[in-house]
Amino acid sequence: QVQLVESGGGLVQAGGSLRLSCAASMSISTINLMGWYRQAPGKQRELVATITNGGVTNYANAMNGRFTISKHNAENTVYLQMNSLKPDDTAVYYCNAVGSYDSGQQFNSWGQGTQVTVSS
């Protein structure tokens, strides 16, 4: 199964920026959809942003232009640039990949998550 490894989380002050990375164990150019989700303590996991293999992006309304998802196919990495961070952005951020192998078997894989903490 495709492995996803997130990095780039940490502690930042409100108004600051972070860039998260998600490295995949297979060519992301063949993955139909990749995305970032987050889960705050006591809350359900929610969508942050997604990007298709064709580069079409989608964002949750709450991101309001502050976050940008991108991908580098040659590096098999998806990024999430987060600007103007707020304490409400504090959560564990997870990378997700949805697609199918050459065999036709479908997958929906998650990374282990990376903690983002925004202090006020």
- pLDDT mean over 6-27: 97
Average pLDDT, the chain: 95
> Considering only CA atoms, which of 114, 104, 119 is closest in space to residue 21?
114
DSSP annotation of 106: E
pLDDT value of position 13? 98
Dihedral of alpha carbons 86, 49, 82, 1, sign: positive
Tokens of 71: 């991908």
pLDDT value of position 62? 84
3-state secondary structure of 15: coil
pLDDT value of position 34? 97
- Asked whether residue 30 carries a pLDDT value surpassing 90, the answer given is no
> What length is written for the chain?
120
Of 14 and 102, which is predicted with more confidence? 14
pLDDT tens per residue, range 96-120: 999 998 888 999 999 999 999 999 9
Residue 6: Cβ-neighbour burial (10 angstroms; 0-12, 13-18, 19+): buried
Separation of alpha carbons 25 and 23, rounded Å = 7
Q: How far is CA 31 from CA 53, 57, 75, 93, 120, in A?
A: 6, 14, 14, 20, 37
> Considering only CA atoms, which of 78, 77, 51, 81 is closest in space to residue 65?
81
Name the one residue in this structure whose structure tokens are 């298709």.
52
pLDDT tens per residue, range 47-72: 999 999 999 999 999 887 999 999 99
